Amino acid sequence: EMIYEGTKLFWRTHEKIDIQMHEYVQLHCLVVCAYNATRDVTQPTLILDKTKIEDTVDDDAVQAQLKAQREEYALRKAIVGRPLSAEEDEEVAEGVRRGILSNYVLLRLQQKELPETSDGACDLKFVTLSLDQYADGELIIENPGITELPTLSKKDKVDMAQFQRMSVEIRKTAGELSALSKSAEKMSAIVSASMNAFGGGNPDPGHFAGISALNVTTKSGSQFSIETKKKVMRAILSSDVIKDIRKRKVAEMKARLESSVTYKALCEEIKARYAAEAEAE
- Model confidence pLDDT, tens digit, residues 179-229: 666 666 666 565 555 555 444 444 444 444 443 344 445 455 566 666 666
Could you tell me which residues come within 8 angstroms of residue 127 by beta carbon, excluding any fewer than 6 positions away? 108, 110, 136
Which of 47-56, 159-168, 194-203 is least confident? 194-203
Residue-wise pLDDT for 217-265, tens only, equals: 545 556 666 666 666 667 766 777 677 777 787 777 777 777 777 777 7
Number of Cβ atoms within 10 Å of the Cβ of 102: 19
For the chain, what is the mean pLDDT?
A: 77
Beta strands per DSSP E along the chain:
2-10, 15-24, 29-36, 41-42, 46-49, 109-113, 122-126
Exposed e or buried b for every residue in 84-93, given b needs 16+ CB within 10 A?
beeebeeebb
Residue-wise pLDDT for 3-30, tens only, equals: 999 999 888 888 899 999 999 999 999 9
Alpha-carbon distance values, 222 to 204, 205, 235, 272 (Å): 12, 15, 20, 56
Exposed e or buried b for every residue in 154-167, given b needs 16+ CB within 10 A?
eeeeeeeeeeeebe
